Structure 1
């Protein structure tokens, strides 16, 4: 019991009582105090759309053929004058150009909207982070809120305003966006997805994006390579199943090596070029075709810059977008020049997309790499490298040091992706990483994610060390918290 002289009393463990208090009282382990000036955190309806609101990850490809009708359909649907939120979904195989359609629409129709905001929506975690970032952009004071509260603030802002375009890229689970779509009453939503389901039930007008025709594929190859061998271009296009990403990869290889398209076509017919494809299921023609292209590219990279291939294999285990570039420098033992050279080569082959601070790779590239072993038998397993990389990169004291929270937010999608790729891991380093992740998420109010990651950490620890090991008790304690 705590007693204040001639004042109130409080009973119970770690209780406090005060007569007059001019400051803060905390009896918790992870308490946070934030000072805001009166009125600093405005309600969503009080915040007008800022001029030039724009968050689109990159410019669209300059060579973009065979999509005129799709672009018209998207533009017309989103230009509808009817009231309420208007949604459009663009579905199709990975690499067919769904994201390019969204990029081209955003840039071509930018003046139609009061603002354009792009969110990577391949997981619930990334959706929350993307909408929280919108809240932070609109009202900087929302940075004091946990991400889930900032997401709710952004959703409320979308409800109270009109004229915006929200792009949700690569939605995997329609349930992730169902509440969002049901809670907004105006604006425009453009969804890209590999899921070919009945999106009309979610209020979206669906468009199915198919591969190119032969003529369109030939045109793309000839324009991209600046070569006019239509016979060779037709042969390459035939072999690659007219998949835009595969054609883009082929053109990048041809341009980098300054070879005729006919020579590239001959190499595709060489069965040795497909040795890395053993893990790909038969019958997936377009996917098998694109992996053949990447097999050729990896073979060339292994000769010219083997470090680039090692980096690419590690990137395959992380989230596809926004990998901090300093992680790549960590993979090269702090050698910035080596890291930059390797990334430059990967970009020249269209195997990675770079900006000043991040690296992105295509999901299908990642899938192929996870299914294939590195050519060098002396290379450490890439998934183990990815685990060690993130374990080293995360800041200490995730629950109590606010200075490390922005870094945690940047790394959280990659920790989630890595864990999803390794559902049966018994790596105790991964368990330690997940325990720390759960502590961070708990402090941010992300309780469902914290429970999931703490449960995974417990399962790994028990499988690796047995149920009686002291580390199991630590994992149980974190899960109980």
Structure 2
């Protein structure tokens, strides 16, 4: 065998046949390398180890991430990088750029390297997602500086690369996509000069290293990016709907770039892409450009991060549950039951550290696209298995339902929690369908429906109650005892929203079903009958309402007893019906009896007792007995302030009623300030558009009109009418009342020409909505007749007034005060 280092070649005596040649490099022990090819051996001279300290970077040599050619925004982030790397004075400068995967950290670093390249003698880009990748990048750097290093072992090349960085300055090293600060710690400990820009999803753990946070683009920047990317390949593209698409993508650069590539490649517009995203999210999240990197898609970009969190299994579950909530402001305590307290805190902390969530002391936020991908089932993705996604959905539902299970939707003290839960419940309901609803979903829908009704949003309340009833019927069947109450809730929601055409038939069906399934004397049946009577009364049909109230009270006293707490509302509602019919001789004794029963059975401070006391005061006011009405209103108000607080809706009702009673008593000095205060408080507590707020503003307008202050009354009436049309709709009874009130104010100014069109519209609408015999319809026709008379149109005024008097005779009765007043008016008109 040849001596070491001889450089000669030894040729074996065997023939050249046999298997194909295999090359092996074997170190000879002295720095030389023995190359074996088949049976031929060649001993090469020792490799030369370059002296890295003495080598300078060659002009034009370096490595930078390829640019897409499109860059928008990020001026603040670039300024942050400039500030971080300036003024180093020869010392090493390290800055970490962090943010959510896909937010554009690498693009920002590439832009910085490209636009600030003249500051550095050498720029080197390293894909740094693992310690091995960092080592490879440093080894390549050594070869770029000294080509002869290419034949050295990998470990030696890495050492040479580090040595060069440690002994030179004015270079820029980008470590892209560092997983954890520990991966780069060894390198940074040895580097004392130059500039290192790190990009990472990790937002914490960087010690004293300055950081630059990268967030999503602004709406305008995202749209600009989409336009520029698409038009670079498809100049005449139709990009209508780009704003909506970018908003749906949460202005995340990666998502915008992926969408732009899809639009340009497939020649579709943003609206079509949105439709595909809604119908086939899994496919769209994974769609890559024909020659693109399938790893850089929405479906894959966060998969890697979750893989890194595999040692914290609860992190995935927390993220999946949070994916069903609204993106921002998820209360941390809602997630507390997902595991042991310390485990939940650690899961949240790790998710935040990798920029998957934004964490504060009280809330969690998740980018909406992260949520969308996390909610999208994928049997091939261990983080989005269908069974895990469905379980997270049901867990989120249970958490939200339990959060309000013990709360009173009518109590302002409980409203802050409802306000916390509502946006997340709405997000959950938006991203689910009724066929996935559970009993917890139904209970959540019902409680939110009651809350929304209390806050003056009856339309939204109807939507929630309708889905609860639908899902309950699917789960339990139409005749189940669980289903009937939710159908009753829906019917009452329709009534509160003024939709009597749907409320009354549904209530009639509920009564019939409860009679059939529970029996005519079951308490739930009696309650349903009472609710139906209330709907009839709301529709102005006292002819059907009053007998039903009477039957409900008689049955309640017989089945439950006269003092039963369920009997008390029946008695109070019957008294209200008698008062509405002008039959105060029967109404007031019932009010008095109901208050006595309430105080004896429930106590003087019970909420039902306070309602009974308020109703009795209202009865006394209707009878003109203000000496008894006002002290009773004052006592009720004081009790409600003491028991419920000054801002409870019932307290505000009492203050409104007391203010109006002062007005009826002629005490405007107390009525006006109190009404103004009630308007302000209801705007603050309930909102400017809440029906109760509009009621108080309407009352203030009416009082101002009565006092002759039409300059103030008319703008108030106009504002109330506009708000009621917007909030309740043009056909709601309160809207119709506002139209008549504004018309009466115009009449008071001597402007019948402005009043008559309003009154004609009010009459037509009331006849259509309430029916020709409703009290409000008759009153509107009387007001129209008066307007015709004031306008000098006797030919229309007299026949209409004659018809109105005849209708009041028939519907209300010939001896009722309103009938007598109108008959006197007709006599004066005929003889004038």
If the length of structure 2 is used for normalisation, what is the TM-score? 0.31
Residue of structure 2 in register with 1:42 after alignment: 50
In structure 2, distance between residues paired with 1:197 and 1:223: 34
User: Among residues 231, 247, 250, which one is paired with 2:256 in the alignment?
Assistant: 247
Give, in angstroms, the shift of residue 232 of structure 1.
Answer: 1.5
Contact 1:169 1:192 (8 Å CA) reproduced:
yes
**For residues 139-158 of structure 1, what are the structure 2 equivalents within 5 Å?**
139-158=146-165
C-alpha contact 2:5 2:45 (8 A) present in aligned 1: no
**Mapped contact 1:52–1:114 kept (Cα < 8 A):** no
- When residues 23 and 229 of structure 1 are mapped into structure 2, their CA distance, relative to the original with a 3 A threshold, is closer
Match of 2:285 in 1: 294
Q: How does 1:117-128 map to 2 (within 5 A)?
A: 117-128=124-135
Of the three residues 52, 59, 67, the one matched with 1:51 is: 59
Q: Which secondary structure does the structure 1 equivalent of 2:134 belong to?
A: helix
Of 249, 273, 276, the residue aligned with 1:264 is 273
Aligned-partner Cα distance in 1 for 2:93–2:64: 20
The C-alpha deviation readout for 1:375-416, integer Å capped at 9, x for no partner, is: xxxxxxxxxxxxxxxxxxxxxxxxxxxxxxxxxxxxxxxxxx
For residues 317-357 of structure 1, the C-alpha deviation after alignment (integer angstroms, 9 at most, x for no partner) is xxxxxxxxxxxxxxxxxxxxxxxxxxxx622xxx32xxxxx
Asked if 1:105 is matched to 2:112, the reply is yes
Q: Which residue, out of 72, 75, 88, partners 2:79?
A: 72
Alpha-carbon distance, 1:63 to partner: 2.6
Distance in 2 separating the partners of 1:39 and 1:144: 7
How far is 1:47 from its partner?
Answer: 1.2
Kept after mapping to 2: 8 A contact 1:41/1:139: no
What residue number does 2:70 align with? Answer: 63
Which secondary structure does the structure 2 equivalent of 1:83 belong to?
A: coil
Deviation per residue, 1:163-206 (Å, 9 max, x gap): 000010100122121011110111110101111113244xx310
Secondary structure of the residue aligned to 1:195 is coil
Would you tell me which structure has more helix in proportion to its own residues?
2
> 1:140: Cα distance to partner?
2.1
Cα drift, residue 245 of structure 1: 0.5
SS at match of 1:179: helix
Question: Is it true that 1:205 corresponds to 2:205 in the alignment?
Answer: no
Equivalent residue, structure 1, for 2:169: 162
Question: What is the rounded CA distance, in whole Å, between the counterparts of 2:228 and 2:203 in structure 1?
Answer: 31
Cα distance in 1, alignment partners of residues 93 and 44 from structure 2:
36
Matches of 2:107 and 2:301 in 1, distance apart?
Answer: 20
Answer yes or no: is 1:234 the counterpart of 2:243.
Answer: yes
List gaps (5 residues or longer) in structure 2: 8-24, 34-42, 306-380, 383-832
Residue 409 of structure 1 is matched in structure 2 by none
Q: Match for residue 290 of structure 2?
A: 346
Match of 1:224 among 217, 223, 229: 229
The gaps in structure 1 that reach 5 residues or longer are 1-15, 277-291, 299-344, 353-359, 372-420, 423-481
Q: Which residue number corresponds to residue 98 of structure 2? A: 91
What does the per-residue CA deviation read over 1:26-78, in whole Å, with 9 as the maximum and x for residues that have no partner?
A: xxx9534338879942322121222122111312x333223111112212322
1:268-314, Cα deviation, whole Å (9 max, x unpaired): 333xx12x3xxxxxxxxxxxxxxx6434x37xxxxxxxxxxxxxxxx
Say what the alpha-carbon RMSD is for the aligned residues: 3.5
Secondary structure, counterpart of 1:142 in structure 2: helix
Which residue is equivalent to 1:184? 191
1:436-469 CA-to-partner distances (Å, cap 9, x unmatched) read: xxxxxxxxxxxxxxxxxxxxxxxxxxxxxxxxxx
Aligned to 2:259, the other structure's residue is in SS state helix
Contact 1:49 / 1:138 at 8 angstroms: preserved in 2?
yes
Distance 1:215 1:56, change over 3 A: same
Is 1:137 paired with 2:144?
A: yes
Aligned to 2:13: none
* CA distance in 1: counterparts of 2:271 and 2:51, whole angstroms: 62
RCO (CA 8 Å, sep 6+): is it higher in 1 or 2?
A: 1
CA contact (8 A) 1:86 1:186 kept: yes
**SS in structure 1 of the partner of residue 59 of structure 2:** coil
- Give 1:253 shift: 1.2
Cα gap change, 1:184/1:37 in structure 2, threshold over 3 Å: closer, same or farther? farther
Query: What is the distance in 2 between the residues matched to 1:63 and 1:22?
Result: 56
Query: What corresponds to 2:772 in structure 1?
Result: none
Q: 1:31: which partner in 2? A: 27
> Which has more radius of gyration?
2
Report deviation, 1:90: 0.7
Measured at CA, do residues 346 and 180 of structure 1 come closer, stay the same or move farther in structure 2, by a change above 3 Å? same
Change (3 A) 1:243 1:228: same
Q: Is the 8 A contact 2:295 2:301 kept in 1?
A: no
**SS where residue 127 of structure 1 aligns?**
helix
Structure 2: how far apart are the matches of 1:190 and 1:368? 22
Preserved contact between residue 62 and residue 144 of structure 2 (Cα < 8 Å): no
Q: Kindly state the Cα deviation for residue 228 of structure 1 after the two structures are TM-superposed.
A: 9.2
